[in-house]
Amino acid sequence: MIDVGDHSGAPLRLLGRDFDGFRRAVSAHSAAWPAGTVDATWLGLPGLEAAVLGPGPADADLLVVPADWLPALAASGRVRALTPYVSANPPEGWPDAWSPSFHDGITWGDDVYGLPFHDGPQLLFTRPSLLEAHGLRPPSAWSELLAVAGALYEPDAIAGTVLAGAPDGHNNVYDLVLHLRRFGGDLVDADGRITLDTDAMRAALTFLREVVTTLVSPDAARMDSNDSGFAFAAGRVAVAVNWAGYAALAAAGAVADDFACAVAPTHDDGSPTVTVNAFWVTCVSAACADPDRAWDYLRHAASAAMDLETTRAGASGARRSTWADPELLRAHPEHALFERAHDHSRPLPRVPELPALVGVLNELVDAVVWRGEPLGPALAVADASAAALDQHAPVRPSRSTP
């Protein structure tokens, strides 16, 4: 076991995204940690990205960041490899306490660089009474979702579905990747090189543009992900695919007694859709002067008891035991779907250029899907920008599963 000593007078410095659920979760973890305390600084997402991926090292011991950033952080030496700690003193239940869908997201090559902190898979949201009033069944395939959304769409009253159009590199990019995969593509080719100008990408962009022009409300162009969750909770959307965490908004909103969740729609032949696993991790900064003690905190925060506290705090724990907790399921039954949802979920490709690539995709979606610019020229610009990123990419290690 690692001896962390008595460091109660030297709090670990944590840097993360400003979100009430994250604040409360880290506060609960810190209060229950016997080896000291954590002093957290919370930033907006752009500020966090600048702090951890900017020119200089992050002034922190611990980082709470999107798993999508780990390859860039690892390749640039900004976070510590945790494999020696995992081998010597693994987290409780490692690795089977977590769905395998997390494993690629926390590794870079042969090393582990973070532990899951917050997660909420993409789920289908419907309103049972609305479906029943129109003689409709809950959709199980994408074609059925589109048919239901079209049947329930009433301009100026209720949108058939919702997309978050704000050009913030979040939902707009994740929705693109979801449908890119649905059409048989991905952001990288078989050799791991970034490739955007593909038939699948063209199909995904065309599909999203059609949805925007026929099934969503005009104000969706300004919505971020939270706004899209609030729109469903307020009863302004008939059916949606969105993050599981927005079930809590629905439960507290106008549709509190009239919403249901299910796993994401399938292909028309019943085969599952590969959804996006966009989760958050805690990792140890390369600037940390006491990595042994930082690892002790990570193990503590990732334990079954603390992961459950993460969910109770208003974030969403990532352990299977949390998803199966009877008390939690009584208040949040959607967690019973998480295991199935993660059976067919995977993170964005593990390439260190990903933060910059998200910026390219953000502009591509905004141009084609929301501004209605011609697909061909916009995609050509994006593909050239992505190719330039690829030319300057560091050597990519082989992938491994812990």
3-class SS at 159?
Answer: strand
Please identify, among 302, 331, 346, the residue that sits at the C-terminal boundary of a domain: 346
Is residue 220, in this structure, part of any structural domain at all?
Answer: no
- Looking at the structure, do residues 99 and 24 belong to the same domain, yes or no? yes
Alpha-carbon torsion, ordered 246, 114, 309, 8, to 10 deg: -140
- Specify whether 294 is located in the same domain as 177: no
State the pairing for strand pair 111-112/107-108.
antiparallel
Tell me, what CATH number does 32's domain have? 3.40.190.10
Is residue 234 located within the same domain as residue 142? yes
**Same domain membership, residue 202 and residue 184:** yes
Q: Identify whether 115 is part of a domain.
A: yes
10 Å Cβ neighbour count for 263? 23
32 and 51 fall within a common domain: yes
Q: Do 293 and 357 fall into the same domain?
A: no
pTM of the model: 0.92
Domain count, the chain: 3
Q: pLDDT in tens for each of the 402 residues of the chain?
A: 344 444 455 899 999 999 999 999 999 999 999 999 999 999 998 899 999 999 988 999 999 999 999 999 999 999 999 999 999 999 999 999 999 999 999 999 999 999 999 999 999 999 999 999 999 999 999 999 999 999 999 998 999 999 999 999 999 999 999 999 999 999 999 988 999 999 999 999 999 999 999 999 999 999 999 999 999 999 999 999 999 999 999 999 999 999 999 999 999 999 999 999 999 999 999 999 999 999 999 999 999 999 999 999 999 999 999 999 999 999 999 999 999 999 999 999 999 999 999 999 999 999 999 999 999 999 999 999 999 997 755 555 654 444
Residue range(s) defining the domain that contains residue 102:
12-120+277-346
6 occurs within a structural domain: no
Give the C-alpha separation, 364 to 373, whole Å.
9
